[in-house]
Amino acid sequence: MSHHNLDSLDKKILRLVSEDARVPFLEVARACNVSGAAIHQRIQKLTALGVLKGSQFIIDPEKIGYETCAYVALYLKNPEKHDVVVAALKKIPEVIECHATTGGMDLFIKMYARNNHHLMEIIHDKLQPLGLSRSETIISFNVSIDRQLPILDNPVEEEDDTDEDVVTD
């Protein structure tokens, strides 16, 4: 994966649009003290680079009847079936994230269910048939922090291992 060097204008734009994706470009332009066309061009550049991945409305799962959020560690009987299992997980609408991870598990998913009974049905009827040797489920009671990664002015740079500027007493 490549990382992109962002200038101060890019960072300011990203801060503003990450707070509110619906903020008008002209408002961003005023806040950045540049033209609306400049903001439009920068947004297009950041999107083309993959820094911005679009904008969306966020649906609150609880407001539409999905009261149980769960994280499930999946252990596959046949880890070589990883890609087949991921393809099958994509077809289960309640699964909203799937991560390949380190550690003993093969996959780690985030999912929503209407309630605990519905969660049990999904695990039994949709996940177990995928060829799991076992699974471990963690239910989230609430979200204490839910945010995007902040755009920092001075990202941590790789440290220089030289001793040139070291002062000793």
Give per-residue pLDDT as tens, 77-109. Answer: 999 999 999 999 999 999 999 999 998 999 999
Considering only CA atoms, which of 113, 35, 114, 34 is closest in space to residue 72?
Answer: 113
pLDDT exceeds 50 at position 162: no
Q: Which residues pair with 135 in a beta bridge?
A: 74
pLDDT of 2 reads 66
pLDDT of 84 reads 97
Q: How far apart are CA 109 and CA 73, in angstroms?
A: 7
Q: How far apart are CA 99 and CA 97, in angstroms?
A: 7
Q: How far apart are CA 138 and CA 148, in angstroms?
A: 23
Q: Which domains does the chain have, with CATH numbers?
A: 8-48 (1.10.10.10), 61-140 (3.30.70.920)
- pLDDT digit string, tens, across residues 133-147: 999 999 999 999 998
Q: Is there a contact between 36 and 25 (Cβ–Cβ < 8 Å)?
A: yes
- pLDDT digit string, tens, across residues 1-57: 567 788 999 999 999 998 888 999 999 999 999 999 999 999 999 999 999 998 888
H helical segments located in 94-148: 116-121
Residue 158: pLDDT band (50, 70, 90) is very low
pLDDT of 155 reads 54
Model-wide pTM > 0.85? no
Counted residue by residue, the chain has a size of: 169
Q: 42 exposed, middle or buried (CB, 10 Å; 0-12, 13-18, 19+)?
A: buried
